[in-house]
């Protein structure tokens, strides 16, 4: 791999960073085109631009320019006129890659990208979300599962396994799970663990459907269908987990007090969320990444320390916080214990 030539950090001079903003949309368009035309799957084995163009009914000259640009981005390698997917990119860009990001890369831009100028003028005329429509929940389930499969589950599992309580824990609850992937990962790694998750009924139904075809591990996951603000969570959990979901707490302190009551003696509640700083201008990953949602009235990000303060207010005797670095940005880990 060659070192990236674009200024990826704030250490680069400002003119270089400004120029890079012109390049950035082109890099995304190249990746999106590669996904749309199935270039990465087709280049699991070496092929020439002419061979690939013939199979896609595209102009070989134009396709060659695109393939050269993808090679410049280190997603492809080129040798003697033959292109192939790099070994580093294959797990993430092949449709059946073990850590495939294909689904995430095709769905997340629909949430994160938008016409900022039009949103600023309130000219977009976005239709309100129809949460009664099955299509809304189908899209949500697909997007969340793609995120968890591609990036989220590995990071979350690593956090859990780093907890001092984890080796002796025997019961686990995922609040607002969004998908079945973390619960399945826990049951597969810890067959001795009692695992449950809670989510809104439409999402819970889709998660249950996926668990039903997930084999023995899926059968060991209990699904609680309901709003976690009101649902009976059960009790006796050694670890209760909430990641990127506490935005929907009607009363955060009340919810965390409810969670505290659901813990077994010696249990721990774990929250993984962003923590904005510098008057909500850092980290750039979250501030810019969630801008379109904020302009659409969904400014839900937590300030650094907000969840820790709510944990203390909810009665947790010990609250510990630390920063976590992930591939999808920096996050704040807040743990509540008695």
With residue 161 as reference, give the H or E element that holds it: helix 153-161
User: Alpha helices, DSSP H only, in 5-133?
Assistant: 14-36, 39-42, 49-56, 60-72, 90-93, 102-112, 116-120
- Percentage helix, strand, coil, to 5, in the chain? 45, 20, 35
| Count of helix runs (H) and strand runs (E) in the chain | 16, 10
Determine contact, residues 238/248, Cβ cutoff 8 Å: no
Q: How many angstroms separate the CA atoms of 264 and 70, rounded?
A: 52
Complete DSSP assignment for 16-28: HHHHHHHHHHHHH
The string of pLDDT tens digits covering residues 33-59 is 999 999 999 999 999 999 999 999 999
Eight-state DSSP code of residue 303: B
Which domains, ranges and CATH numbers included, belong to the chain? 14-91 (1.10.10.10), 136-337 (3.40.50.150)
Determine contact, residues 144/200, Cβ cutoff 8 Å: no
In this prediction, residue 139 carries a pLDDT of: 80
Confidence of residue 1 (pLDDT cuts 50, 70, 90): very low
In this prediction, residue 132 carries a pLDDT of: 66
Answer positive or negative: Cα dihedral of 207, 212, 216, 220.
positive
Residue located via tokens 């090679």: 71
Residue 137, preceding peptide bond in cis (omega within 30° of 0)? no
Residue 167 burial (C-beta neighbours within 10 Å; 0-12, 13-18, 19+): exposed
Q: How many angstroms separate the CA atoms of 33 and 35, rounded?
A: 5
Q: Give the lowest-confidence range in 29-38, 137-146, 245-254, 278-287.
A: 137-146
Answer positive or negative: Cα dihedral of 245, 246, 247, 250.
positive
Beta pairing, strands 237-243 & 263-273:
parallel
The string of pLDDT tens digits covering residues 204-254 is 999 999 999 999 999 999 999 999 999 999 999 999 999 999 999 999 999
In this prediction, residue 150 carries a pLDDT of: 75
pTM of the predicted model, to two decimals? Answer: 0.91
Confidence of residue 3 (pLDDT cuts 50, 70, 90): very low
Determine contact, residues 250/229, Cβ cutoff 8 Å: yes
């Amino acid at each position: 791999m060659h070192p990236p030539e674009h200024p990826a950090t704030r250490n680069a001079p400002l003119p270089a960073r400004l120029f890079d903003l012109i390049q950035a949309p082109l890099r995304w368009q190249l990746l999106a085109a590669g996904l749309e035309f199935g270039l990465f799957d087709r280049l699991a084995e070496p092929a020439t631009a002419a061979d690939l163009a013939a199979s896609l009914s595209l102009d070989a000259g134009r396709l060659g320019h695109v393939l050269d640009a993808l090679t410049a981005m280190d997603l492809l390698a080129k040798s003697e006129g033959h292109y192939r997917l790099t070994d580093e990119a294959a797990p993430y860009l092949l449709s059946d890659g073990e850590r495939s990001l294909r689904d995430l890369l095709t769905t997340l831009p629909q949430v994160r990208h938008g016409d900022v100028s039009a949103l600023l003028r309130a000219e977009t005329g976005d239709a309100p979300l129809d949460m009664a429509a099955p299509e809304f929940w189908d899209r949500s389930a697909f997007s969340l599962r793609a995120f968890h499969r591609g990036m989220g589950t590995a990071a979350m599992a690593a956090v859990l396994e780093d907890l001092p309580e984890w080796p002796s824990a025997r019961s686990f609850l995922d609040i607002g799970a969004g998908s079945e992937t973390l619960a399945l990962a826990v049951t597969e790694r810890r067959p001795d663990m009692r695992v449950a998750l809670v989510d809104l009924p439409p999402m819970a139904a889709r998660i249950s459907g996926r668990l039903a075809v997930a084999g023995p591990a899926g059968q060991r996951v209990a699904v609680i269908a309901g709003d976690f603000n009101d649902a009976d969570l059960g009790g006796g959990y050694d670890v209760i987990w909430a990641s990127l979901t506490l935005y929907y707490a009607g009363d955060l302190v009340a919810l965390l007090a409810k969670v505290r009551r659901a813990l077994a003696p010696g249990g721990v509640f774990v929250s993984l969320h962003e923590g904005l700083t510098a008057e909500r201008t850092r980290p750039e990953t979250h501030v810019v990444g969630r801008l379109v949602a904020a302009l659409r009235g969904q400014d839900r990000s937590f300030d650094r320390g907000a969840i820790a303060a709510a944990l203390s207010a909810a009665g947790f005797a010990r609250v510990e916080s630390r920063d976590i670095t992930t591939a999808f940005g920096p996050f704040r880990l807040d743990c509540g214990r008695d």
